[in-house]
Amino acid sequence: MGIETLTIEGMSCGHCIKAVTMALQDLPGVTVKDVRVGQAVIDTESAVATPPLIAAAIAEAGFTVVGSHARVTGSHGDRD
């Protein structure tokens, strides 16, 4: 589980943001943190929300995941 930033192609406006947000919200194990044009920040439970599953949901909404970066959350940084 952790924060992940997805780079998404094909987004251009608020409707795209809403579509991506809804697609991600529907996924089990995904908490949507922030969605803007071209990127989405999500908190994932990696056992449930696998990258292919996330990419497929985005694709179904009409967009393409072109990259993702895992990030360690805030305060206790003993792992990377």
Q: Which residues bind Cu ion (CB under 5 A)?
A: 12-13, 15-16
In whole angstroms, how close is the CB of 11 to Cu ion at the nearest point?
A: 6
Closest CB to Cu ion among 22 and 70? 22
Least distance to Cu ion, CB of residue 33, Å: 20
Q: In the bound complex, what is the minimum distance in angstroms from residue 26's beta carbon to Cu ion?
A: 18
Q: What is the DSSP string of 4-54?
A: EEEEEES--SHHHHHHHHHHHHTSTTEEEEEEETTEEEEEE-TTTS-HHHH
* 18/33 with CB nearer Cu ion: 18
Q: CB–CB of 41/5 below 8 Å? A: yes
